[in-house]
Homo-oligomer: A and B are copies of this chain.
Amino acid sequence: MHYARNTWYVAAWTADLDMSKPTGLRILGERIVLFRTESGKLVALEDRCVHRLAPLSLGRCEGERLRCMYHGILFDSDGAVSEIPGQDVIPRDAKVRAYPVVDRHGWVWVWMGDPALAYEATIPATIGTDNPDYLMGHGFLDYDCAAHLISENLLDFSHIGYVHADSFPQGDQMAKTHADIRPIDQGIRYRRWVENLASDAAGFPAEPLDHYMEYDYVIPGILMMHIAGFPLGTAKSLEFGSPDLANAVRDLTFTGQAVTPIDEHTTRYFFCYGMHRDFGTEQMIEPMMQLVRKAFAEDKVMIEAQQKVIDETPDPRMIPTSHDRSITMYNRMLDKMIRDETERQAVA
């Protein structure tokens, strides 16, 4: 598999974990078991018993430890075996891999690379379901496709007017004009003004405003996007530069999204979406979520169909368009990172 490893992947929504028992999941094709100990520590271990390879995610939390429920082998939170029933000696190599894991912004982040390089400070400063300023809904979807096809969808919003022709009002304006797209650390920044747009965040008709959309898309696949309405004329007065979000007059929304490869053929897509408290109420969340769930379903149909065509094409070749610039920019960064990791490993 061709993926970056020295980076934080979103593994789960913290709120969705059943903390009374372990949770099994897969990232980059590796089976991982997540559990929280009695003292509240979050642990991520290789989900494979050293004894006969049963999954520890079928196991039982016991205090600070996790017991395999096939033959009772007990694991410490660092992955070392601390008990083998019916046997006094524990082999030195009786140990599973432990992954660095952090609970932040409502997400569980797992570090898939060298643990010595796992700095928490590199976790993107996104806004999550735990942020008091935003009223948010959240969820996830599993796609039958490689992760890069979802990233490429999120890096080129010219698809909005076609894939989401029924759901979003911006229409083919997003395709006929170009956004401001620049490289940033670990990804790209996308900015676009749509002047005089006559609909609100949920796509319902409203008095026209200048709408501003800005998002960062960073490795390994984290999207953080603000949209807001400003008084007519704001875009021009700022010469189409970045506004101060504090000056928004309607619909300041945020969506955080994460694309996590389950394996080469399957991807988990996490998302939250919500309104700043100054511009909405709890009652608005469900209709807003309904809209994005409809839109994500539209993306899913297209992207999974695209994957099927690619799989059946002996020598798939793409003809890029001008809108693919952001994709190229991001993919080069990601490829360089993977190449660097491979070289570092070859040296070591």
Residues of A near any B CB (own CB < 8 A): 29, 31, 47-48, 50-55, 58, 67-73, 84-87, 91, 93-94, 152, 156, 158-159, 161-163, 165, 172, 175-178, 301-302, 305-306, 308-310, 312-313, 316, 318-323
Nearest 10 A-B pairs (CB), nearest first? A85-B175, A69-B162, A54-B306, A87-B322, A50-B319, A72-B162, A53-B309, A55-B305, A72-B175, A53-B310
Report how far A69 CA is from B163 CA in the complex, Å.
6
Given the complex, which residues of B lie within 8 Å of A322, measured CB to CB?
84, 86-87
Known: A302-B54, A305-B55. A86 touches B159 (CB 8 A): no
Given the complex, which residues of B lie within 8 Å of A163, measured CB to CB?
69-70
Known: A69-B165, A71-B162, A71-B175. A51 touches B306 (CB 8 A): no
Whether the pair B54, A309 counts as a contact (CB closer than 8 A) is yes
Report how far A71 CA is from B31 CA in the complex, Å.
36
Report how far A176 CA is from B74 CA in the complex, Å.
13
Given the complex, which residues of B lie within 8 Å of A68, measured CB to CB?
162
Given the complex, which residues of B lie within 8 Å of A313, measured CB to CB?
48, 53
Given the complex, which residues of B lie within 8 Å of A159, measured CB to CB?
70-72
Known: A85-B172, A175-B85. A70 touches B306 (CB 8 A): yes
Given the complex, which residues of B lie within 8 Å of A302, measured CB to CB?
54, 58, 69-70
Whether the pair A319, B51 counts as a contact (CB closer than 8 A) is yes
Query: Chain A binding site: helix, strand, loop or mixed by DSSP?
Result: loop
Given the complex, which residues of B lie within 8 Å of A29, measured CB to CB?
312
Residue of B nearest to A308 (CB): B55
Known: A71-B162, A85-B175. 18 other contacts (CB 8 A): A48-B309, A50-B318, A53-B313, A53-B316, A54-B309, A58-B301, A58-B305, A67-B162, A70-B163, A71-B321, A71-B323, A84-B321, A84-B322, A86-B175, A87-B321, A87-B322, A91-B319, A94-B319
Separation in Å of the A94 CB from the closest CB of chain B?
6
Report how far A162 CA is from B52 CA in the complex, Å.
14
Whether the pair B158, A86 counts as a contact (CB closer than 8 A) is yes
Separation in Å of the A275 CB from the closest CB of chain B?
29
Known: A162-B70, A305-B58. A51 touches B321 (CB 8 A): yes
Whether the pair B71, A156 counts as a contact (CB closer than 8 A) is yes
